[in-house]
Amino acid sequence: MKIFVYGTLLRGLDRHPALAGAPFQGHGIVEGILHDLGDYPALVEGDGTVHGEVFEADDAILRVLDAIEGNHPGRDTASLFRRRDVRATLMHDGSIVTVQAYFFHGDCERSRIIECGEYRRYLAEAVSPEQWYIAFASNMSTGRLEKRIPIPGTIEKGYLEGYRLMFNKKADGGGVYANIAWAGAGYRCPFTACVITRDLLSLLDGFEGGPAHYARIVVPFSFTPSGPQHMGHLYMADPKKLTENGTPSAGYLKYIYDGYEEHGFDTKDLPKPR
């Protein structure tokens, strides 16, 4: 069974250990509205977009999750959250899969709506005006990024384990742009990261066409396999904007080569300019 989680069960958050042994299947989107109930969020039906993560869960894990969420199969009226089927769109390939998700069974009219639809981002932005921004592809070039926002501090680098650099984001004028997608074990994507303000992230939203072209989500990351974990903002292509993997324009590709060479990453796997 595929389970869609959107709150404290997300990777890097307090209750994620309950999903130990459940293979991560990637980032997903479901239709609905996310509310802040204080200690946790609530998913309810509605005309909105909620970002989360998809896992493979067996019966034993589902029983643990049911206990956490106050779901009592066969006794819906006694349940705090009800687990039911819903369609989710996977962000790495745009496919639509049936998942189970926990919908809140109660009154949340007085609670705050989480407008961004993404709980980790909501939590991170509430903690501090300064946030980690994760750059990949062309924005790894300092020259490219400085044309968009001032860079206030040190730039660090690493690999996002399990992710893959793709060139499958439709460009409005034809062609493709870079994207980052969950691919699983054996993959990793070079990145750079720096700490910037929420205002600068909002400015980047405009350059990235967010949220219609690239959605800004928060993911857990570290600079080394054994290093401390951070939360960082990452732009991932909206599934409606995906196309076949291709080769971007020479000018765009040059920014990517510049960034890789600037930070000491191997360029052998990058597309060759046309």
What backbone phi and psi angles, to 5 degrees, belong to 27?
-85, 145
Q: Among 64, 83, 113, which residue terminates a domain?
A: 113
Residues 48 and 140 in one domain: no
DSSP string, 108-128: -TTSEE-TTS-HHHHHHHHH-
Residues 105 and 136 in one domain: no
Whether 9 and 2 have beta carbons less than 8 Å apart is answered as no
Q: Which residues span the domain enclosing 83?
A: 2-113
Measured over the CA atoms of residue 43, residue 19, residue 126 and residue 162, the dihedral's sign is negative
Sheet of 214-221: strand order equals: 156-161, 188-197, 130-135, 230-237, 214-221
CATH number, position 211: 3.10.490.10
Measured over the CA atoms of residue 261, residue 181, residue 208 and residue 129, the dihedral's sign is negative
Q: Which residues of 137-146 are buried (b: 16+ CB within 10 A; e: fewer)?
A: bbbbbbebbe
Residues 150 and 90 in one domain: no
Which pLDDT belongs to residue 108? 87
Residues 133 and 71 in one domain: no
How many domains are contained in the chain? 2
Which pLDDT belongs to residue 270? 95
C-alpha dist (Å) from residue 217 to 72, 120, 123: 31, 8, 11
Q: Classify residue 135: in a domain, yes or no.
A: yes
**Tokens for 206?**
């405009």
Tens of each residue's pLDDT in the chain, 274 residues = 999 999 999 999 999 999 999 999 999 999 999 999 999 999 999 999 999 999 999 999 999 999 999 998 877 677 899 999 999 999 999 999 999 999 999 888 889 999 999 999 999 999 999 999 999 999 999 999 999 999 888 999 999 999 999 999 999 888 999 999 999 999 999 999 999 999 999 999 999 998 999 999 999 999 998 999 999 999 999 999 999 999 999 999 999 999 999 999 999 999 987 7
Whether 122 and 267 have beta carbons less than 8 Å apart is answered as no
CA 199, CA 128: separation in Å to the nearest integer? 12
Residues 73 and 158 in one domain: no
Residues 96 and 135 in one domain: no
Residues 139 and 217 in one domain: yes
Residues 34 and 145 in one domain: no
Residues 33 and 134 in one domain: no
Which pLDDT belongs to residue 110? 85
